[in-house]
């Protein structure tokens, strides 16, 4: 079924880190009203909300300690906390309480059996987004703006993987098309972070930062003009400000650059959030709440004359502007993750026997483990995976009956550092600068990969050397001799 939307959609996602007080929600509500009246009056606004700051962590901790959890006390505390964020009528208070206490039976059942089933975990952990949506709707109504809450279980279809599911975009688009009359007018609030399993209808979460993914998936399904993610950071930076405090905002990225940065450890953006927008060339803007306040016209957004990170295609019309945004060495940013482990399969005949890598990779994939990437040589196959998957892969590896495998080793306490920028593989001397800087710091590089992507080079080193290596690489590309940051645009 092909839907035809009568009006234009604008998606704005509000991150939980800025939903930290009653005052912040009032401030955000006023900003949304102003944006609707001044800039997006010809759009239907879709506001995607995260849970209030800290709520998701509280829910996770409660489930971890389910056997000792005082369930009634916990739910009462959660209920009272949410009531502080808006002036509720008695009817509203009842609705909030009913929503929160709907978890009671699930929690007691889990406590009785001494564990939390996957479907219960995802249902409980995603509850904070539903609660914050109710609060945001009430606040906006106080300022004269009527928004309808649209719950993702009615239209956002996932592959059904508990804990870290993927959105099935075409199925979700079809589900939205079935309720096209509901979406043809008005503005909406959508709880982020979760969807509905295609296999059994259970709620499944989209992984940490999943509200980003909700917003961009909706952008795809509704053919939105653009998606704006409002966070507690300026946008993508040249490096992690906790390690390199003078890191500067990167104002322009293409989809592949943003994808690589989020995949290799940048916490700015959910690792799957770019793809839905790339498929339709929909621009993505990332900004702080303070910079969102400065958005006074739609033209400022289109021309990127504000302090946002913009992620989009670069056609001939704006190619030159994109090139000017590079440093002299075309590098946009450096990213690091310590969420890696290496499983190494060794055997002298690997290079001469076809199908070994395929057999190993397919067995790992069937177990539900994502392989981040693979580095091979004549005598070894190295799978780089998340630390949380190490035990599962090691157990699976023991069951492999391939005579060519002579030894299986694993390594942890490693970090991966990625250097990202379009054109780096064609630019002379980039690799020598990276590894020259690391070498001068006396740091050993264990593995290197270049060429697997057109926009990144990455390497692995020991965790103890990670921050030092990160600082050295960042300084090489972005800082002058006096440690002043170089301009990125």
| pLDDT tens-digit map of 418-440 | 999 988 888 888 999 999 999 99
Kindly state whether residues 213 and 341 are assigned to the same domain.
Answer: no
> At 46, is the secondary structure helix, strand, or coil?
strand
pLDDT number for residue 485: 47
For residue 316, what pLDDT is reported? 45
In-domain check, residue 289? no
Q: 308 in a domain, yes or no?
A: no
Residue 318 DSSP label: G
Least Cα distance to 124 among 98, 106, 151 occurs for 106
* Of the residues 232, 263, 298, the one at which a domain ends: 232
304 inside domain: no
CATH at 435: 3.30.2130.10
Look at residue 373 in the predicted model and tell me its pLDDT.
86
486 part of a folded domain: no
- Of 67 and 98, the structure prediction assigns the larger pLDDT to 67
pLDDT tier at 487, thresholds 50, 70, 90: very low
Task: From 209, 232, 255, give the residue that closes a domain.
Answer: 232
Pairing of strands 284-288, 252-253: unpaired
Cβ proximity of 197 and 158 under 8 Å: yes
- List C-alpha distances in Å: 172 to 202, 218, 219, 264: 15, 9, 11, 27
343 in the same domain as 200: no
pLDDT value at position 149?
95
| Domain end among 188, 208, 232 | 232
269 in a structural domain: no
3-state helix, strand, coil split of the chain in percent (to 5) is: 40, 20, 40
Average pLDDT, the chain: 89
Sequence ranges of the binding site for ATP: 267-268
Give pLDDT, residue 296.
79
How is 7-23 classified by DSSP, letter by letter? SEEEEEEE-GGG--SHH
> 227 and 339 share a domain?
no
- For residue 178, count other CB atoms closer than 10 A to its CB: 12
- Is residue 193 pLDDT above 90, yes or no? yes
**pLDDT of the residue at 440:** 94
CA distances 126 to 16, 99, 193, 301, 486, Å, are 13, 12, 7, 32, 41
Question: Domain check: are 70 and 202 in the same one?
Answer: yes
Q: pLDDT per residue over 132-152, tens digit each?
A: 999 999 999 999 999 999 999
What is the C-alpha to C-alpha distance for residues 101 and 72, in angstroms, rounded to an integer? 9
Residue 433 inside a domain? The answer is: yes
CB 216 within 8 A of CB 274: yes
Rounded CA separation 267/339 (Å): 12
Q: pLDDT value at position 350?
A: 80
Provide the b/e sequence for 341-353 (b: ≥16 CB within 10 Å).
bbbebbbeebeee
Token reading at 232: 């507690």
Instruction: For residue 488, give the nearest of 264, 252, 243, 258 by alpha carbon.
Output: 252
In a domain, 254, yes or no: no
Helix 71-83 × helix 90-101 angle, to 10°? 140
Tell me, yes or no, whether 174 and 38 share the same domain: yes
Binding residues are 267-268
Query: What CATH number does residue 211 fall under?
Result: 3.40.1160.10
pLDDT tens digit sequence for 335-354:
999 989 999 999 887 877 78
Among 184-198, 297-311, 368-382, which is the least confidently predicted range?
A: 297-311
SS3 11: strand
Q: Which residues of 232-269 are buried (b: 16+ CB within 10 A; e: fewer)?
A: ebbbbbbbbeeebeebbbbbbbbbbbbbbbbbbbbebb
Find out whether 194 and 152 touch, Cβ atoms under 8 Å. Answer: yes
Identify whether residues 228 and 352 lie together within a single domain: no
- Is residue 230 pLDDT above 70, yes or no? yes
In a domain, 368, yes or no: yes
Question: Comparing C-alpha atoms, which of 216, 106, 211, 226 is closest to residue 172?
Answer: 216
Lowest mean pLDDT segment, chosen from 71-75, 93-97, 323-327, 455-459: 323-327
pLDDT at 329: 58
Rg (alpha carbons) of the chain, rounded to whole number = 24
Residue 176: is its pLDDT beyond 70?
yes
Same domain? 226 vs 345: no
CA–CA distance, 453 with 134 (Å, rounded to integer): 43
Name which residue leads in pLDDT, 93 or 290: 290
Lowest mean per-residue pLDDT among 28-42, 186-200, 327-341, 434-448: 327-341
State how many domains the chain has. 2
- Please give the residue range of the domain that contains residue 444: 335-479
Instruction: Give the lowest-confidence range in 40-49, 202-211, 387-396.
Output: 387-396
Checking if the pLDDT of 4 tops 60, the result is: no
Whether 484 shows a pLDDT value over 50: the answer reads: no
Task: Give the C-alpha separation, 174 to 192, whole Å.
Answer: 19
């Amino acid at each position: 079924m092909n839907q035809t939307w009568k009006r234009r959609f604008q998606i704005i996602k509000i991150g939980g880190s800025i939903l930290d007080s009653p005052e912040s929600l009032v401030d955000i509500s006023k900003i949304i009203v102003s944006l609707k009246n001044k800039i997006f009056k010809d759009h239907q606004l879709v506001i995607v909300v995260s849970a209030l700051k800290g709520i998701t962590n509280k829910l996770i901790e409660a489930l971890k300690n389910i056997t000792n959890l005082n369930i009634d006390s916990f739910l009462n505390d959660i209920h009272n906390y949410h009531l502080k964020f808006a002036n509720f009528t008695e009817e509203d208070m009842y609705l909030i309480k009913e929503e929160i206490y709907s978890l009671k039976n699930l929690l007691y059942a889990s406590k009785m059996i001494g564990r939390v089933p996957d479907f219960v975990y995802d249902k409980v952990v995603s509850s904070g987004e539903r609660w914050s949506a109710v609060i945001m709707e009430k606040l906006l109504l106080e300022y004269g703006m009527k928004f309808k809450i649209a719950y993702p279980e009615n239209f956002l279809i996932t592959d059904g993987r508990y804990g870290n599911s993927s959105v099935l975009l075409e199925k979700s688009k079809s589900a939205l098309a079935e309720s096209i009359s509901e979406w043809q007018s008005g503005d909406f609030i959508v709880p982020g972070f979760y969807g509905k399993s295609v296999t059994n209808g259970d709620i499944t979460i989209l992984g940490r930062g999943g509200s980003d993914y909700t917003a961009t998936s909706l952008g795809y399904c509704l053919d939105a003009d653009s998606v704006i993610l409002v966070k507690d950071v300026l946008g993508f930076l040249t490096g992690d400000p906790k390690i390199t405090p003078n890191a500067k905002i990167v104002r322009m990225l293409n989809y592949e650059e943003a994808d690589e940065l989020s995949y290799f450890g940048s916490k700015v953006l959910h690792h799957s959030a770019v793809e839905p927008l790339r498929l339709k060339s929909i621009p993505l803007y990332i900004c702080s709440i303070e910079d969102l306040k400065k958005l006074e016209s739609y033209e400022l957004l289109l021309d990127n004359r504000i302090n946002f990170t913009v992620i989009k295609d670069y056609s001939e019309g704006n190619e030159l502007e994109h090139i000017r945004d590079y440093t002299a060495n075309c590098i946009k940013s450096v990213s690091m993750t310590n969420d890696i482990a290496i499983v190494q399969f060794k055997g002298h005949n690997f290079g001469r026997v076809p199908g070994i890598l395929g057999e190993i990779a397919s067995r790992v994939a069937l177990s539900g483990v994502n392989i981040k990437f693979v580095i091979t040589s004549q005598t070894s196959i190295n799978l780089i995976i998340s630390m949380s998957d190490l035990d599962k892969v090691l157990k699976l590896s023991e069951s492999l009956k391939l005579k060519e495998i002579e030894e299986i080793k694993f390594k942890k306490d490693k970090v991966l550092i990625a250097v990202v920028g379009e054109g780096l593989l064609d630019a002379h001397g980039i690799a020598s600068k990276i590894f020259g800087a690391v070498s001068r710091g006396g740091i050993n590089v264990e593995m290197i990969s270049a060429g697997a992507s057109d926009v990144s080079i990455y390497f692995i080193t020991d965790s103890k050397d990670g921050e030092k290596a990160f600082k050295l690489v960042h300084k090489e590309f972005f800082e002058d001799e006096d440690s002043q940051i170089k301009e990125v645009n």
